[in-house]
Amino acid sequence: MTDLKTTWYFIVNPRAGSGKTMSEWVPAERKLQNLGIPFVTAMTDHKCHATELASEAAAAGYRHIVAVGGDGSLHEVLNGIASWCERSGVSTSEFYLGVMPIGSGNDWIKSLGVPHDLGKVIRLIEAGSFGQMDVVKVRLSDGRTSWMANIGGTGFDSHVCNRVNMQKERGMRSKLIYLNALRHTITHLDKLNLKVIADGKTVHEGVCYSIALGNGPYSGSGMRQVPLADINDGILDYMIVPEVSLPHMLKEIPRLFNGTINESGVVLSGRCRSLQIVPLDGASADIVEMDGEIEGKLPLSIEMDGCKINVIKG
């Protein structure tokens, strides 16, 4: 049986934050050493490498694993831990997960009160400041499973993420890229024909533009598509944008940033423990994003089964 380790395992994405990772991480390493916090470091060198490293670390007995990067790095690390737990039968509740925020988005940390400052995050680690988070398991059309920490969705939700990711790959780094991607996608996206089933009840059937699924409330560098979402309440929040005129849709954009979109008469909002999204025609088998990463296509199925993981909390 593998001995469990108390050493912290940091998975570093050197490409996060426009390549500024190392200029921030090297001083953070020195601070960890000065405080006497035991740790090891692993560097990623390709997409999904953090998932592989987290899975290997879990198998080796590490239970304190931190992504050094942004929300995409967090997503990969969570998936590495959760996939290993599913294979091994070990509970995710044995693990402590965190982010040293360097990436451009960092929406997940807003739900936990974690500062965008590596030195302050290290102080939280030193103090043992932890909370818990629901682990959201998502089954996709090809039978694969993905785990979500924060926000997922389809329609213009997933296409905005796809456009943002393409811009980042071209070297663009600005909070405005999220808003620009949202504006572009709203004016270019086709309608979807979907059936949404929440806790066994059909809550929408027909044309819609977008569906957001929330464990936490923040996405897109501060947007709140599901403003009532709580990462530790065992419930999934959803928001559906049905067919509506473009001028009316554009008028609602400010609500995404001030946390009142659920009060709009345009959208459908709700909360559930299980949810299925089923395309009603082939053209509506749209792409799906989880934590800003494109993970597959519809249909999808989610069950909130009570699984938790410990997380660094401010």
Residues 278-306: tens digit of each pLDDT: 999 999 999 999 998 999 999 999 999 99
Which residue, of 104, 128, 152, is where some domain finishes? 128
- The model's pLDDT over 166-212, given as tens digits with 9 standing for 90+, comes to 776 666 666 667 667 777 777 777 899 999 999 999 999 999 999 99
d(CA 132, CA 134): 7
183, 251 contact by CB (below 8 A): no
d(CA 291, CA 105): 10
- The model's pLDDT over 98-142, given as tens digits with 9 standing for 90+, comes to 999 986 668 999 999 999 999 999 999 999 999 999 999 999 988
Which 8-state DSSP code applies to residue 108?
G
Q: What is the tally of helices (H) and strands (E) in the chain?
A: 9, 17
d(CA 303, CA 294): 20
In a domain, 264, yes or no: yes
pTM score: 0.93
d(CA 41, CA 10): 5
What's the mean pLDDT in 206-231? 93
In a domain, 133, yes or no: no
What does the longest C-alpha to C-alpha distance in the chain come to?
61
Helix, strand, coil percentages, rounded to 5, for the chain: 35, 35, 30
Together in a domain, 80 and 191: no
Together in a domain, 162 and 59: no
CATH number of the structural domain spanning residue 266? 2.60.200.40
Together in a domain, 194 and 122: no
In a domain, 193, yes or no: yes
Residue 35, strand partner residues: none
Nearest CA-CA partner of 97 in 153, 105, 84: 84
- The model's pLDDT over 35-93, given as tens digits with 9 standing for 90+, comes to 999 999 999 999 899 999 999 999 999 999 999 998 999 999 999 999 999 999 999 99
- Sheet (strand 62-69) strand order: 39-43, 5-12, 62-69, 96-101, 308-312, 130-134
In a domain, 311, yes or no: no
Task: Write the single-letter amino acid at 89.
Answer: G
Together in a domain, 124 and 176: no
- The model's pLDDT over 239-282, given as tens digits with 9 standing for 90+, comes to 999 998 878 887 888 998 899 999 999 999 999 999 999 999 99
> Residue 229 above 70 pLDDT?
yes
Report the number of distinct structural domains present in the chain. 2
Task: Write the single-letter amino acid at 28.
Answer: A
Compute CA 202 distance to the chain's CA centroid, rounded to the nearest angstrom.
Answer: 26
- Give the per-residue pLDDT at 168: 67
Together in a domain, 66 and 47: yes
Range(s) of the domain holding residue 222? 138-306
- Give the per-residue pLDDT at 161: 82
Radius of gyration of the chain (CA): 19
Which 8-state DSSP code applies to residue 112?
G
Together in a domain, 181 and 107: no
- Give the per-residue pLDDT at 156: 84
- Give the per-residue pLDDT at 17: 60
> Residue 153 above 90 pLDDT?
yes
- The model's pLDDT over 14-41, given as tens digits with 9 standing for 90+, comes to 877 656 778 899 999 999 999 999 999 9
Together in a domain, 113 and 152: no
Which residue, of 99, 128, 157, is where some domain finishes? 128
Together in a domain, 180 and 198: yes
CATH number of the structural domain spanning residue 78? 3.40.50.10330
